[in-house]
């Protein structure tokens, strides 16, 4: 078990496909702050609200020198439908092997209605232009989260 990521650590590299199947790396965002948010599942109530909240503050995030990237275990077809349905203007990455989720320490055993399963714990990382972790939000509560992230981005 690797140690948990901390503020100031080098962010683990990504190399996973977006909704178009195009490989995305952290290097592709050099010079920008990246809001990397991990969410459990496309088109579910909490994830939809969180994604739409990020959509609604996207212009402010861009003005603050940031860019938004979502990550879940869903495949690209699921991401394409989710993006189209809610007009999401940022890429959603498919971490189908959970390798990136594990690298960021957000792939956890969960318990729903007494059933145990593995999945993503809703978490957001703000990564600075040099690829270092600037802020970490774990076990995210959706309400007000996009505004919290915006504050961290501007800090």
The Cα-based distances of 16 to 13, 97, 99 in angstroms read 10, 10, 9
Task: Using a cut of 0.85, tell me whether the model's pTM lies above it.
Answer: yes
Q: Would you give the end-to-end CA distance of the chain in angstroms?
A: 31
For residue 127, how many other CB atoms are within 10 A of its CB? 24
Catalytic residue set: 47
CATH topology of domain 16-154: Glutaredoxin (3.40.30)
Q: What is the mean pLDDT of the chain?
A: 94
pLDDT digits (tens, 9 = 90+) for 102-140: 999 999 999 889 999 999 999 999 999 999 999 999 999
Break the chain into its structural domains and give their ranges: 16-154
């Amino acid at each position: 078990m690797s140690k948990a990521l901390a503020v100031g650590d080098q962010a683990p590299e990504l190399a996973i496909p977006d909704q178009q199947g195009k490989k995305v790396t952290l290097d592709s965002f050099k010079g920008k702050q990246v809001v990397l948010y991990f969410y459990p599942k496309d088109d579910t109530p909490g994830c939809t609200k969180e994604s739409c909240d990020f959509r609604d503050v996207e212009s402010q995030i861009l003005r603050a020198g940031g860019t938004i990237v979502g990550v879940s275990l869903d495949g690209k077809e699921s991401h394409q439908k989710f993006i189209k349905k809610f007009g999401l203007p940022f890429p959603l990455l498919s971490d189908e092997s959970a390798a990136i989720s594990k690298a960021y320490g957000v792939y956890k055993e969960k318990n729903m209605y007494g059933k145990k399963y593995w999945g993503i714990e809703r978490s957001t990382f703000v990564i600075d232009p040099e690829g270092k972790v600037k802020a970490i939000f774990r076990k995210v509560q959706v309400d007000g989260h996009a505004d919290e992230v915006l504050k961290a981005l501007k800090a």
